[in-house]
Amino acid sequence: MQDRLYFRQLLSGRDFAVGDAIATQMVNFAYLIGDRETREAVVVDPAYAVGDLLDVLAADDMRLTGVLATHHHPDHVGGSMMGFTLAGLAELLAREPVPVHVNRAEAEWVRQVTGVSATDLTSHDHDDVVQVGEIPIRLLHTPGHTPGSQCFLLDGRLVAGDTLFLEGCGRTDFPGGDAEAMYHSLRALADLPGDPVVFPGHQYSPESSAALSSVRRDNFVYRPKSIEEWKRLFG
Ligand SMILES: [Fe+2]
């Protein structure tokens, strides 16, 4: 399966949405995941210049068959943020009407923020699998940053959205955030077998990815060993 996997990590302001001040400042990662044999691919968290992401797929001779959304924040799916309107799901779907895979608990938030209709969204539960060609992508429900945040596990890689960064984790003080839920989500990720490589939702550290074992060792969010300790430090 290794040689069939198509996997690209793209940084906003550098690899797409070049020259866009917000995209450059926000340092979001979008991901393209596909099957090199069937040429099918999904995009994770399309925002800012969605046309650029489609252009990358076209240049690689890949065909978009779906979208995976980690959570509803506009820097990941488009919508209004800090007085700016960011492109995202709505603009992408206008060009390529494909299913958008969200966690069930996030669907309504995504709909409200992006303006897409409920029928555009495919709601999933924890541990559902989205198949891209012959590549299975496991959806992990990891609430905390938002109620329906989800991470994606495929072929030794963990696409972690704003749940787990290489340093730190997503904030829990935005609407729908939950510090206690975040503790449990981070623990669940730490316990994943096989030491997957963590691919975060933002470039908040010099490295763009790192083995889960090193994140578990170095990231301060893994210092608290109990929910009580976690709440004292991060609650
Ligand atoms: Fe976020």
Q: Tens digit of pLDDT for each residue in 198-228? A: 999 999 999 999 999 999 999 999 999 999 9
> According to the model, what pLDDT value does residue 164 have?
98
User: Ligand 1: distance of its center to the CA of 199 in Å?
Assistant: 15
User: Ligand 1: distance of its center to the CA of 57 in Å?
Assistant: 25
pTM of the complete model: 0.97
Rg (CA), the chain: 17
In 3D, which of 65, 66, 81, 64 has the Cα closest to residue 28? Answer: 81
Q: What residues does 100 pair with on adjacent strands?
A: 67, 121
Q: Tens digit of pLDDT for each residue in 19-57? A: 999 999 999 999 999 999 999 999 999 999 999 999 999
Q: Tens digit of pLDDT for each residue in 125-165? A: 999 999 999 999 999 999 999 999 999 999 999 999 999 99
Question: Which tokens hold the place of 129?
Answer: 């699998």
Question: Which tokens hold the place of 172?
Answer: 């829990």
In 3D, which of 202, 205, 159 has the Cα closest to residue 67? Answer: 159
User: Ligand 1: distance of its center to the CA of 162 in Å?
Assistant: 5
Measured CA angle at 186 (ends 123, 181), to 5 deg: 65
User: Ligand 1: distance of its center to the CA of 73 in Å?
Assistant: 5
| DSSP code for 105 | G
| Arithmetic mean of pLDDT, 70-79 | 98
- Tabulate helix, strand, coil % of the chain (nearest 5): 30, 30, 40
> According to the model, what pLDDT value does residue 62 have?
98
Residue 2 pLDDT class (50, 70, 90 cuts): low
Has residue 82 got a pLDDT over 90? no
User: Ligand 1: distance of its center to the CA of 4 in Å?
Assistant: 30
Phi, psi angles (nearest 5°) of residue 99: -65, 140
* DSSP string computed for 181-227: HHHHHHHHHHT-TT-PEEEESB--SSSS-EEHHHHHHH-GGG---SH
Say what percent of the chain tops pLDDT 70: 99
User: Ligand 1: distance of its center to the CA of 148 in Å?
Assistant: 11
